[in-house]
A and B are shown apart, each in its own frame.
Chain A
Amino acid sequence: MALLKLDSISKRFGTNQVLDEVGFELATGEILGVFGRNGTGKSTLLKILFGTQTASSGLIQVNETRYLVRKTRWSKSAVIESQLIGYLPQFSFLPQGAKVWDIIPTYLTGQKQDLIFQAPRIPKIASRRVGELSMGERRYLEVLLLGNLDHPFLLLDEPFSMVEPLFKDLIRDFLISLKPKKGILVTDHYYQDVWQLADRKMLLKDGKLASVEQLEDLQKAGYLRSIN
């Protein structure tokens, strides 16, 4: 089992303290859902963790290995080099002009490619260009590509947003299948999808991250107006 620990992550944009001494733990075998209103720093937190965003302070630890957060743009991205953490950004990162069957071998080699080529719905889209795929097809392909890499931890920023129900189900089933070997952090404004999927839930508000147990807690914290 691998354990990811975050300690004292702080980030400020001008006078706005977005993250204030934030910390949490994530172990392989669990899915952590992070909720928060727009601008509360969810994506920033994920980027700091992945190493593409700087922070004023903080420590990232995977098992016994410690990584300092990047404090300047010129600092080394040790987390990226370690390949311990995968990150799905909000936007599509795949080359729009490339065909699906050309992209898969650039991510996976040998028999691991078959995990994607034989995944549900992929044979139908394999000959198409990324730019021709629907939002759901593209997001599903991205999650499949990253989920099949060897990172023990996976950070997913809005995997369900604008995705049609059919592909939401496929993404959810795939993430559940990954759970035994990965620790997964999911954040999305489609909160019901995250709520159903996550074993543990946290809310980011006013720069602080706190555990939530019930949907009512999200309402009390002002994240939801009502519970459907």
Chain B
Amino acid sequence: MFKFYKDVTLYALLFTLVSIPLAGLYGAVMVFGVFGTPIGLLMFNYFHKHEYYGYYNRGFTRSYLITRTYLVTFIASPVMLIIVFLILKLFSLGALKA
């Protein structure tokens, strides 16, 4: 199950990184939370579709995998948002200047 989450999230993060110039840092975190998982799943379906059978054999249905992945990403997004806020705040206070 963790490998599935890792694979999907990797694609989601790549998409998020690409979206930073357009959406900004805060916007990119929102993109990750809302669109990251669907994009990651599309990429997983394209590159790793056959691997679903390994999960099926261990009792994980596709809907279970997708729901859990979406849930974890959705919960992780506010945490990321707080981290981005703190980093930007520290920059603005000069704490992270070289």
Contacts of A106 in B (CB 8 A): 3, 58
Residue of A nearest to B53 (CB): A93
Interface residue tally on A, bucketed by range: 20 to 34
The verdict on A80 contacting chain B, using a C-beta distance below 8 Å, is: yes
User: Are the CB atoms of B3 and A87 closer together than 8 Å?
Assistant: no
- A93 contacts which chain B residues (CB < 8 A)? 50-54, 57
CA distance A86 to B59 in the complex (A): 9
The answer to whether B59 and A95 touch across the interface, beta carbons within 8 angstroms, is no
- Given A95-B3, A106-B3, answer yes or no on A80-B59 (Cβ-Cβ < 8 Å): yes
Interface string of B12-56 (1 = CB under 8 A from A): 000000000000000000000000000000000000101111101
Binary per-residue interface labels of chain A (45-81) against chain B in the complex, 1 for a CB within 8 Å, 0 otherwise: 0000011100000000000000000000000110011
Residue ID in chain B nearest A77 by CB atoms: B61
A177-220 vs B: 1/0 string, CB under 8 Å? 00000000000000000000000000000000000000000000
Contacts of B56 in A (CB 8 A): 50-52, 77, 80, 87
CB-based contact B53/A89 at 8 Å? yes
What are the residues of chain A within 8 A of B51 when measuring CB–CB?
93-95
- Whether B61 contacts A80 by the Cβ 8 Å rule is yes
Verify A89–B50 contact, CB threshold 8 A: yes
| B54 adjacent to A94 (CB under 8 Å) | yes
Contact check, A87 vs B50: say whether CB atoms are below 8 A apart: no
Please encode chain A, from 79 to 109, with 1 for each CB lying within 8 Å of some chain B CB and 0 for all others: 0111100110101111100100000001100
In the assembly, what is the distance between CA of A177 and CA of B83, in Å? 54
Q: Which residue of B lies closest to A51 (CB)?
A: B56
Q: A176 at interface (Cβ–Cβ under 8 A)?
A: no
Contacts of B53 in A (CB 8 A): 52, 87, 89, 93
In the complex, A149 Cα to B54 Cα: how many Å? Answer: 11
**A83 and B3 within 8 A (CB):** no
Answer yes or no: A224 CB below 8 A from chain B CBs: no
Are A81 and B3 in contact, with the CB atoms below 8 A? no
In the complex, whether A135 has a CB less than 8 A from a CB of chain B is no
A107 and B59 within 8 A (CB): no
Which 10 A-B pairs rank lowest in CB-CB distance, beginning with the nearest? A93-B53, A83-B59, A77-B61, A93-B54, A93-B50, A80-B56, A89-B53, A80-B61, A91-B50, A86-B57
Given contacts A77-B61, A89-B53, 10 further A-B contacts (CB under 8 A): A52-B53, A77-B62, A77-B63, A80-B60, A87-B53, A93-B51, A93-B54, A94-B51, A95-B54, A106-B58
